[in-house]
A and B are shown apart, each in its own frame.
Chain A
Amino acid sequence: AQSVSQHNHHVILSEAASLELGCNYSYGGTVNLFWYVQYPGQHLQLLLKYFSGDPLVKGIKGFEAEFIKSKFSFNLRKPSVQWSDTAEYFCAVTPYEGRDDKIIFGKGTRLHILP
Chain B
Amino acid sequence: DTAVSQTPKYLVTQMGNDKSIKCEQNLGHDTMYWYKQDSKKFLKIMFSYNNKELIINETVPNRFSPKSPDKAHLNLHINSLELGDSAVYFCASSQEGSSSGGEQFFGPGTRLTVL
Contact = CB atoms under 8 A, between A and B. Distances in A.
Interface of A: 32, 34, 36, 42-46, 49, 51-52, 88, 90, 92, 94-105, 107-108, 110
Which of A46, A95, A103, A110 gathers the greatest number of chain B CB atoms within 10 Å? A103
B42 A34 contact: no
A88 B90 contact: no
A97 B90 CA distance: 24
Chain B interface: which size bin? 20 to 34
B41 A32 contact: no
B107 interface: yes
A42 B107 CA distance: 9
Contacts of B43: 44, 90, 105, 108
B101 A101 contact: no
Contacts, number: 74
A32 B107 contact: no
Contact of A88 (B41, B101, B102, B103): B41
Contacts of A34: 98, 103
Nearest to A110: B41
Contacts of A90: 43
Given A100-B56, A101-B55, A101-B56, A43 B103 contact: no
A100 to B, nearest CB: 7
A103 B42 contact: no
A108 B42 contact: yes
